[in-house]
């Protein structure tokens, strides 16, 4: 099912799964993650048992996650859940209180510059960050054309 | 008991069997209208969660209610069905039938009894955590109490619909005719072994049940119910007869 992203005013026909947007929540990460997973799987017409089968876990384990009784699963498992639920993995990984699997190696590759960059951009608005990302993409493209 | 079922047993409406079967058939029909025709096994997880909007949660019923014989519970206002973790079909595949029957049983309380609960005991299951009282508890060995009997009969009608059982029976046995105990005694391979086992166990009265359950096994597997549940349903439908 290809949901249309309601938050993406610029490209309203874009599929929701392609649109990265934060999942807002004021709850603890266990509760927020569990409740989001439950609501989203029901939207996707997946029963607890069926979704557990697709993810490769037991319904009891998944149910404990949904109830917020257990910490959210590993990044790999969360990513897998995101794919099944047609969500972008990054916001779901953040909701789970975890960090995407590729980031530690990116930081390790440039251990001075990347942390410096991240500290510097901390506090900017989402729009400002998107502008920087666009600028970086242009830099990379120009670099590859030369 | 902490969290005991709160329905007044004497005040249970007496629903006749045909009425309960009609309510179960109507639920199945509604589901089919939204999601297409069903074939066995009846998709009870989807009926409960996607059609009725009741969320399933696995929990430790012994810890919650202080009793070891609770299989399922229904929180009417919260729209939650709790299932004891011992019935997890992925962890205990042999419990799949029991798990499915528990869901269908709680769906029965939802369809047959929830208005009664909502009308008489407002807020009792609302607002508190899951340690709060459940609207209905389903315990093993409680089937004779009429509200539990009604939910069980509803579950049997929902998981083993008359028309699908009749079709499966005919396919399996080649004719829509009932089978008698005497016929099985003569023809069923292994009948003597079953008789010997029930005599050896000092429980010869179990012999008919065991014979019928042996015959029920292929249909039980097809409908994903226990062979005991299938045997009871086939007897209800007059397909297995103890006497000629």
B88 vs A38, A50, A60: nearest CB: A60
The answer on B181 and B153 residing in a single domain is no
Separation of alpha carbons A35 and B222, rounded Å: 34
Q: Residue B49 and residue A42: Cβ atoms within 8 Å? A: yes
B90, A59 in Cβ contact below 8 A?
yes
Q: Report ipTM for this prediction.
A: 0.80
Q: What are phi and psi of A8, to 5 degrees?
A: -100, 85
CA dist A17 and A43 (Å) reads 14
Residue B213 neighbours by CB under 8 Å, 6+ apart: B227, B228, B230, B231
Per-chain mean pLDDT for chain A: 85
Judge whether A60 and A37 are in contact, CB under 8 Å. Answer: no
Q: Pairing between strand B179-180 and B70-75?
A: unpaired
Residue B75 β-bridge partners: B80
Per residue of chain B (244 residues), what is the pLDDT tens digit? Answer: 333 344 444 556 678 889 999 999 999 999 999 999 999 999 999 999 999 999 999 999 888 877 667 888 888 888 999 999 999 999 999 999 999 999 999 999 999 988 776 655 433 232 223 334 566 666 655 444 588 889 999 999 999 999 999 999 999 988 888 999 888 888 877 777 877 777 777 777 778 888 899 999 999 999 999 999 999 999 999 999 987 5
B36 and B97 belong to one structural domain: yes
Q: Do A60 and B58 touch (CB under 8 A)?
A: yes
Q: How far apart are CA B213 and CA B227, in angstroms?
A: 5
Tokens (6 digits) for B39: 């074939």
B172 and B143 within one domain: no
- Rounded Cα–Cα distance for residues B197 and B211 (Å): 11
Nearest beta carbon to residue A47 from set B46, B90, B91: B46
Q: Does A69 touch chain B (CB under 8 A)?
A: no
C-alpha–C-alpha distance, residues B137 and B7, integer Å: 10
* Whether the Cβ atoms of residue B49 and residue A48 lie closer than 8 Å to each other: yes
Both B123 and B24 in one domain: the answer is: yes
Residue B92 in any domain: the answer is yes
Q: Dmax of chain A from CA atoms?
A: 55
Structural domain range at position B76: 17-159
Establish if A67 touches chain B: CB-CB under 8 angstroms. yes
Say if residue A102's pLDDT is above 60.
Answer: yes
Residue B71's CATH number: 1.10.10
Does residue B12 form part of some domain? no
Domain presence at residue B219: yes
Tokens at residue B208, please?
Answer: 């008919």
Q: Establish if B5 belongs to a structural domain.
A: no
- Whether residues B40 and B153 fall in one domain: yes
In this prediction, residue A57 carries a pLDDT of: 95
- What is the model's pLDDT at position A123? 94
Same domain, B127 and B144: yes
**Do B188 and B83 belong together in one domain?**
no
Is B9 inside a domain boundary?
no
Domain annotation covers residue B11: no
Cross-chain Cβ contact A45/B91 below 8 Å: no
Which of B128, B159, B190 represents a domain boundary (last residue)?
B159
Nearest by CB: A63 against B46, B58, B89: B58
Whose CA is closest to B97, among B171, B142, B155?
A: B155
Tokens 């014989």 sit on residue: B69
Q: What angle do CA B163, B169, B171 make, to 5 degrees?
A: 105
On whether any CB of chain A is under 8 Å from the CB of B88, the answer is: yes
Structure tokens, B4: 């005991």
At B124 the pLDDT is 29
Task: Mark which of B135, B159, B183 sits at the end of a domain.
Answer: B159
Number of domains in chain B: 2
Mark whether B34 and B148 lie in a shared domain.
Answer: yes
pLDDT given for residue B143 in this prediction: 47
Residues B180 and B117 in one domain: no
The answer to whether position B202 is within a domain reads yes
**Same-domain pairing of B146 and B171:** no
Residue at a domain's end among B159, B191, B211: B159
What DSSP assignment string belongs to B156-187? Answer: HHHHS-HHHHHHHHHHHHSSS--EEHHHHHHH
Coil, strand or helix at B75: strand
Cα dihedral: B94, B99, B104, B108 (round 10): 130
Q: Nearest C-alpha of chain A: how many angstroms from B58?
A: 5
Name the burial class of residue B201, with classes exposed (0-12), middle (13-18) and buried (19+) by CB atoms within 10 angstroms of its CB.
exposed
The 8-class DSSP code of residue B59 comes to E
Q: Does B8 reside within a domain?
A: no
Residue B72: closest CA among B121, B105, B112: B105
Residues A5-54: tens digit of each pLDDT = 444 444 434 444 455 666 766 667 778 899 999 999 999 999 999 999 99
Percent of chain A at pLDDT > 70 equals: 81
Check whether residue B141 and residue B186 sit in a common domain. no
B184 and B69 assigned to the same domain: no
3-state DSSP assignment of residue A50: helix
């Amino acid at each position: 099912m290809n949901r249309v992203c309601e938050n993406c005013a610029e490209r309203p026909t874009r599929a929701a799964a392609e649109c990265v947007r934060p999942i807002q929540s004021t709850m603890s990460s266990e509760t927020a993650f569990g409740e989001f997973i439950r609501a989203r799987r029901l939207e996707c017409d997946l029963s607890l048992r069926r979704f557990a089968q697709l993810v490769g876990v037991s319904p009891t384990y998944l149910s404990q996650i949904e109830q917020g009784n257990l910490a959210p699963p590993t990044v790999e498992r969360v990513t897998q859940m995101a794919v099944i639920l047609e969500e972008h993995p990054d916001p779901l990984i953040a909701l789970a209180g975890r960090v995407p699997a590729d980031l530690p190696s990116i930081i390790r590759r440039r251990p001075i510059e990347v942390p410096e960059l991240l500290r510097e951009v901390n506090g900017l608005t989402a729009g400002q960050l998107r502008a920087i990302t666009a600028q970086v993409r242009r830099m990379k493209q120009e670099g590859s054309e030369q | 008991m902490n969290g005991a079922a709160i329905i007044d047993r004497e005040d249970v409406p007496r629903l006749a069997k045909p009425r309960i079967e009609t309510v179960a058939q109507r639920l199945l029909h509604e589901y089919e209208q939204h999601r297409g025709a069903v074939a066995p096994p009846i998709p009870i997880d989807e009926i409960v969660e996607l059609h009725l909007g009741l969320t399933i949660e696995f929990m430790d019923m012994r810890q919650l209610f202080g009793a070891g014989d609770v299989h399922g519970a229904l929180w009417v206002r919260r729209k939650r069905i709790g299932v004891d973790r011992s019935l997890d079909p992925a962890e205990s595949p042999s419990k799949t039938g029991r798990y499915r029957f528990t869901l269908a049983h709680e769906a029965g309380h939802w369809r047959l009894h929830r208005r009664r609960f909502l009308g008489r005991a407002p807020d009792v299951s609302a607002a508190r955590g899951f340690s709060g009282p459940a609207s209905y508890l389903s315990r093993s060995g409680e089937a004779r109490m009429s509200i539990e009997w009604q939910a069980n009969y509803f579950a049997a009608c929902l998981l083993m619909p008359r028309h699908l059982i009749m079709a499966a029976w005919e396919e399996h046995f080649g004719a829509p005719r009932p089978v008698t105990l005497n016929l099985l005694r003569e023809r069923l391979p292994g009948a003597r072994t079953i008789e010997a086992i029930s005599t050896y166990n000092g429980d010869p009265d179990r012999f008919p049940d065991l014979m019928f359950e042996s015959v029920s096994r292929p249909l039980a597997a097809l409908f994903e119910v226990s062979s005991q549940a299938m045997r009871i349903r086939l007897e209800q439908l007059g397909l297995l007869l103890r006497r000629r």
